[in-house]
Structure formats: structure tokens, C-alpha cells
Structure 1
Amino acid sequence: MKSLTIQEINTIINGAVLGETVHTITGLEQIKKANSNQATFIGNRKYAAMWADSKASLAIVNDTIDLEPGNNRVIIKVKNADLAMAKLLEVFAPPAPYFETDIHPTASIDASAAIGEGSRVGAGCYVGKDVVIGKGVILYPNVTIFDETTIGDHTTVWSGTVIRERSVIGSHCIFHINVSIGADGFGYRPSDDGRGLIKIPHIGNVVIGNQVEIGANSCVDRGKFSSTILGDGCKIDNLVQIAHNCILGRSCIMAGSSGLAGSVTLGDGVMIGGSASIKDHTTIHSGATVGAGSGVMNDVAAGKTVLGYPATDSREMLKQWVALRKLTR
């Protein structure tokens, strides 16, 4: 078990220390659940009142929040408590699952595949023809990588993930459990006789940049003609759908259960709230935000925040909600 003094912790997060304690810190916990050997954090004023009853001996606190440490307890004030806590979470994180051998004997790896130095391939993995895997890549058990895919250095792929043929994956990416990359897009048209549906083949691929993280059970479909693209630094939550030929700029965020229909374009830094739905062939420009549960039917201007169904300017939508509430009184 790791144990750090207050001074050692402050060396990591570089804040202003208030108070003293005899306790060392062996872990991190929520403010209501923490014990005397654990640290907690307060990044919002609404949690400040909970500090008096907390058993934690250390709180990492935003420097805009006025709070006293109390007896045998310490506060470390920082500019951003969330970012400071992220540094500590890395320190206290348990070790990754153990690999007894770099390449498990039950892994099926085509003779034409190239596996980079220091990469690990777990039990039951399949690596197809002409796949190129960079240095320090980790494929946890039961990952499938189909033909002609390339994966950059230090990317981690968790169990159950399937990466279809010809995908291009960048470096330092993380794909969580059961991610689907490069499946066929959802494309059908009525048959000439009107008695069935004709499947539209999708012959493109998926291109994913560097430092992209995709949550469990999310899907990124391949392009109909060219590529579905996720730019560097995009962060995708669980249960997200990204359809064929979508293009995401740099550092976009999509929260859980949100979805993009085909050929949607997101600029840089776009934020999509949970369960939001974006109509096909729509462009959401850089810096825009889509509120949770919204349905976007039209293009969204740069920096604008929209919400509601159908989504409109957030201020206008809030006025509508207030007016509707008044009608019910």
C-alpha cells in the first residue's frame, strides 16, 4: 500500500498548504466516505459545507473557496482541484493487469503482421494479415485486429474490442472494453419493386488520431467511400455512436449515449452532452456545445450553446421552458 506525507503530496500538486496532521495518506475517496488516512477534494462550493463532517485528513481545494482546515487536518489550495486530484489518482492507481508473457501462446497472429518492440498481445487475440502494430502497444485478451490495420505506439486496446480491416489508429490511444471500430455504416435503400431493402456497401475505413480515448461499447463506423475521422485528443464516452463519414476535429468530447448520424462534421473542441442526437450532414462548428438530450437538426455556429428538441440557442430555449411552466400555473 502506498503511503505519502502531506509534503510529498504537495510536491506533486504544488499548492498552498494550510494546517497540520499526523496522518499519512494511503488513498483517495469521496468527501462523505473518506477516512483519516485518505484525501478528498473540493472543486465546487456546494461541497464545502461537507468538510466539517468529513473524516478525511486532507482536502485538495480550489483556491477560490474559503475553507479552514480544522484540528489535525490539512487543506491544500490549488488553482484547479480536479486537475490536482487527477495527478494524485495516477500516483495511487493500482497496477495494470499482469502479462506473464509478451505474446500469449493462444494468440493467433498472421505471419505477415508486424508487432513493434515492447508490445504485448493477450490470450485469444487475433491479429490479421499485414497488420502493423507499433511499439509498446497493449492488446488485452480477446481483441481482434483485422487485415491491413495500423496501430501507433503505446496504444491500449481492452478486451472484446474489434478493429476492422484497413483502420488507421494513432499513438497513445485507449479503447475500452467492446469498442467497435470500422464496422459497416447503416445504409439501406428501398428496392426497385418496393418489397425490400437494398444494403449500401461501405468500402471506406476509419482514421483515428493520437491520444484518442473511446469508452466501452461505443461504435465508430467506417466511411461509405473514404474515411470516418476522429481528430487528435478526442474523448468519447461509453455507448456512443459515430456513423459513417463523420469527421471530428481536435479534442471533441461526446458524453454517454450520444450519437452522430452519417456525415456529421464537428469542429475543434466541440462538446456533445449525454443522449444528444445529431442529424446527418450537419456541421457543428468549433467550440460549440450541445446540451444533454438535445436533438440537433441544423448547423450550429462556432462557440454557440444549443439545447432542447429540436435544439436551439440555449437562452431562447430556457425562455421557452419558463413560458411553458407559467402556462401550467
Structure 2
Amino acid sequence: MTPTIRQIAEAIGARAEGAVDTVVTGAAEPADAGPDQIALAMSSTYAKALGAGSARAAMLWADADWKALGLEAAILVPRPRLAMAGLTGLLDPGQRYPEGIHPSAVIDPSAKLGPDVSVGPMACIGPGASIGAGSVVGPQCYIGAEAVLGRDARLHAGVRLMARVRIGDRFIAQAGAVVGSDGHSFVTPEQSTVEQARASLGTNVTAAPQSWVRIHSLGAVIVGDDVELGANACVDSGTIRPTEIANGCKIDNLCHVAHNVRIGRDCLFAACAAVAGSTDIGNNVILGGQVGVSDNITIGDNVVAGGGTKILSRVPAGRVVLGYPAMKMDTHIDTYKALRRLPRLAEQVARLQKAVFKSDENH
């Protein structure tokens, strides 16, 4: 699509000024922008680089003086990142998967495909599966027996939806994501070293070596509407009841959601976040990159966990946490500052000890 400045502004609800009929072929950073691209310079800091490029038009902050920046046209936006969401959605050409059913796709006769469903090369759709209207099943995807996928979904290459999962409308899964894999749930015939360690919290374990027996996953997974999974993200099936992810959640690459976990609405997980089994997470929770969440705990609504945090116990609603173990972010920052001062403090203590010893010798 090659929209005009006017069309872009109308699409994202922003104000356009100047030569609004200028056609835009793409977007670029200010220093790299060509004459037919719109430069993204939504703060005065970024605008300084406009002179290094050759952009005639730019997306700027709400009260920017676009003429003083030497531009022919501008789109003025009050909330830059929200404007970027609209702009990138407008310009995104997508993966360009072909329409219709590819001849190499394998579709069980009992599967139900809604109108305008696209199925890519070497995809496999199992018995009793149901796919909603307008959905795209990319190349080499697998949809298991009796799985349900809603309307207007996008499964990119190599996504696996295992048996009996139920997924809502407008679901997006990036390449390699898996929903409905078996939970990592095992037991030993007698008490195991893990059980002893949990009970003792550190005493040496004495259990004899044993083999693990699988506890099978009967619960599958239920996913709401407007959920997105990143590349190679994995969501395990529940043991008895389903693992649940509510509407609007966005889960990044390489994240793991274990068996029996419940996740509320509009949560956002950054890359490599992992949630252990049977944990309940509230609405609008944000987990930064590499956050780890222990099993069988509760995280309240609107919690924010900074990158690398390890959550080992309950977190009340609205709390901002950081560190290992997780603590209030301001407390963690104070602790970190104190930790950095320890070498200097140790030197001071050593000098004081030396002075005291000399004083004792003189007496």
C-alpha cells in the first residue's frame, strides 16, 4: 500500500499539515529516510537527525514546528508509540500467504473449515478440528484432533495447536509456537528428593533413586480472543482442568506457560518469561524479560515485574517488583546501591579495625 500523508493521518486519528497529498512508500528512521518515506521523529531528540536524511515528510510530536525542520508535510501525534502502532499496521505487507488450500496440505475429512480459510503447504489438520472464517494456517502448521480455532486467526509457519485446545478469534501465533503440549508433570512411586527438599527447605535428601511416572494431561488449553504468542512460545495443557489465557494477552518469544496456569486479561509477557504450574495471574500483569514465576502462587492485578525478576511467593495487586527474590522495586534499588557500596564499606571497617588495634597497643 502507498498511502498519502492525509490517508495515514485519517487512519490513525492524527492531524496532517502541509503537502498532505504526498505519497508515502514506507517508514524509516530520520537519518535513513528517503524522499518518499515518512521519517519517524516523534521527539525533538530524534528530529535532530532529520538533516542527515532526505525525508520530505515526518511523523512528529503534537506541537512540533515542522516547517522549521525543513519538511514539506507532517503528521502531528499526541501519543507517539500508539501512532506507530497504527502506522505500522497500515504499512505492513504481511507474510503474503497464498489464499485457498494448498495441494500438499493434509486435511482430515471430518475437519470443519469456515469460509475464506487459507491453508498453506504441508499443513496438517486433524480429525474433528474446527477453523473459523478468514483464518490463515501457514505452511507446515499442525492442528490436532478436535482443536478449535476462531475467526481471523493467523498461524505463522510451523505453529502447533495440539488436540482439544480451544482458541478464540483473532489469535496470532508466530513461527514455532506450541499450544497444548503435555505438562511437565511427573511423580515417583515413593517420596522423591524433590518432595524432601520442598518439605525441609534445605536439609540433605535421603530418598533412594527412582524412575519418574508421567501424570497425563487431560485438561488441554483455553485461549481467549485477541491473544498473541511469540515465536517458539509454549503453553502446556492442564492436568485435569485446562490451562487458561484470557482475552488480549500478548506473550513474547520463548515464553513458557506451564500446566494449570490461569492468566487474566490483557497481560504482557516479554521474552523468556516462564510461569510454573498452577499459578494464578491477574489482569493487566506485565512480566519483563526472563522473569520466572514459581508454582502454586497468586499474582494480583496490575503487577509489574522488571526484567530478570524471580517471583517466589504471592504478589499483591498493583505492586512493582524487581530482583531475586522479588521485592518492591524501590527496595531492590536501595539494596543494590548498598551492595555496590560494600567493598568501600569493608575498606572503611578494615581501616577502623587497624586504628583500634594500634590504639590498644599504645595503651
Q: Structure 1 residues 115 and 22, CA, compared in 2 at 3 Å: closer, same or farther?
A: closer
When structure 1 is superposed on structure 2, of 53-62 and 198-207 the one drifting more is 53-62
Is residue 2:179 matched to residue 1:164? no
Instruction: Tell me the residue number matched to 1:150.
Output: 148
After TM superposition, the structure 1 stretch with the greater mean CA deviation from structure 2, 141-150 or 31-40, is 31-40
Checking the alignment, whether the CA contact within 8 Å between 1:187 and 1:199 is kept in structure 2 is yes
Q: CA deviation at 1:187?
A: 1.4
Distance in structure 2 (CA, Å) of the matches to 1:261 and 1:281 = 8
Distance change >3 Å, CA 223–CA 320, structure 1 → 2: same
The 8 Å contact of residues 59 and 76 in structure 1, kept in 2 or not, is answered as yes
Shift of 1:23: 5.8
Q: How many Å separate the matches in 2 of 1:54 and 1:317? A: 43
**CA distance in 2: counterparts of 1:325 and 1:151, whole angstroms:** 51
For the residues of structure 2 that align with 1:44 and 1:281, how far apart are their CA atoms?
A: 44
Q: Cα distance, 1:95 vs. partner?
A: 5.0
Check the 8 A contact 1:60/1:85 in 2, yes or no.
no
Q: 2:92: which partner in 1?
A: 93
User: Of the candidates 215, 219, 224, which is equivalent to residue 234 of structure 2?
Assistant: 219
Deviations 1:125-182 (A, max 9, x none): 1111111112111111111111111111111111211111110011111111111110
Partner of 1:300: 315
The question of whether the paired residues in 2 share the 8 Å contact of 1:18 and 1:69 is answered with no
Mean CA deviation greater in 300-309 or 15-24:
15-24
State percent identity of aligned pairs: 32
Counterpart CA distance in 2 for 1:98 and 1:213 is 18
Total equivalences in the alignment: 327
Give the corresponding residue for 1:248: 263
CA distance in 2, matches of 1:52, 1:321: 42
Q: Does the 8 Å contact 2:12/2:83 carry over to 1?
A: yes
Using the TM superposition, give the Cα deviation of residue 288 of structure 1 relative to its aligned residue in structure 2, in angstroms.
Answer: 0.8
Q: Which amino acid letter does the alignment assign opposite residue 296 of structure 1?
A: I
The aligned counterpart of 2:8 is: 9
Gaps of 5+ in 1: none
Is the 2:31–2:51 contact (alpha carbons within 8 Å) kept by the matching residues of 1? no
Q: How far apart, in 1, do the equivalents of 2:63 and 2:307 lie?
A: 28
Which of 286, 302, 305 is the matching residue for 1:290? 305
What is the CA-CA distance between 1:280 and the residue it aligns to? 0.6
The amino acid of 2:24's aligned partner reads: I
* From 107, 112, 115, the counterpart of 2:113: 115
CA deviation profile, 1:216-265 (whole Å, cap 9, x unmatched)? 10000000111000000100111000000111111100000111011111
Corresponding residue of 2:49: 50
- The match for 2:215 is 200
Question: What is the identity, as a one-letter code, of the residue corresponding to 1:305?
Answer: V
What SS does structure 1 have at the residue aligned with 2:253?
Answer: coil
The CA deviation at 1:189 is 2.5
Where does residue 38 of structure 1 map in the other structure?
A: 37
Structure 1 stretch 166-175 or stretch 184-193: which is displaced more? 184-193
Task: Give the AA of the match of 1:203.
Answer: L
- Rate the CA distance shift 1:311–1:176 in 2: closer, same or farther, 3 A: same
- Matched with 2:132 is 134
Q: Do 1:69 and 1:75's aligned partners in 2 also have CA atoms closer than 8 Å?
A: no
Query: Gaps (5+ residues) in structure 2?
Result: 191-207, 345-363
SS of residue matched to 1:32 = helix
| TM-fit CA distance, 1:90 | 2.3
Q: 1:189 aligns with which of 187, 190, 213?
A: 187
Q: Is the 8 A contact 2:59 2:77 kept in 1?
A: yes
Residue among 83, 104, 107 paired with 1:106: 104
Q: How has the CA–CA distance of structure 1 residues 324 and 18 changed in structure 2, closer, same or farther, with 3 Å as cutoff?
A: farther
Q: Aligned AA for 1:176?
A: Q
CA contact (8 A) 1:42 1:81 kept: no
- The structure with the largest alpha-carbon Rg is 2
Task: String of CA shifts for 1:98-150, please: whole Å, max 9, x gaps.
Answer: 426x1222222112111111111122111111111121111111111111111
Q: Given the alignment of the two structures, is residue 272 of structure 1 paired with residue 287 of structure 2, yes or no?
A: yes
Give the corresponding residue for 2:275. 260
**1:40-77 CA deviation, whole Å, 9 max, x = no partner?**
22345643443454433222223277776422444432
TM-score by length of 1: 0.92
Larger helix proportion of the pair: 2
Partners of 2:30 and 2:47 within 8 A in 1: no
Q: How far apart in 2 are the matches of 1:324 and 1:229? A: 40
Per-residue CA deviations over 1:285-313 (Å, capped at 9, x if unaligned) read 11110101110011111111100111100
Report the 3-state secondary structure (helix = DSSP H, G, I; strand = E; otherwise coil) of the residue aligned with 2:331: helix
Deviation larger for 43-52 or 126-135: 43-52
How many angstroms apart in 1 are the aligned matches of 2:334 and 2:48?
32
**Higher mean C-alpha displacement, 210-219 vs 135-144:** 135-144
SS of 1:328's partner is: helix
Q: Is the CA contact (8 Å cut-off) linking 1:21 and 1:72 kept in structure 2? A: no
The code of the aligned residue for 2:165 comes to S
Amino acid paired to 1:301: P
* CA pair 43-278 structure 1, distance change in 2 beyond 3 A: farther
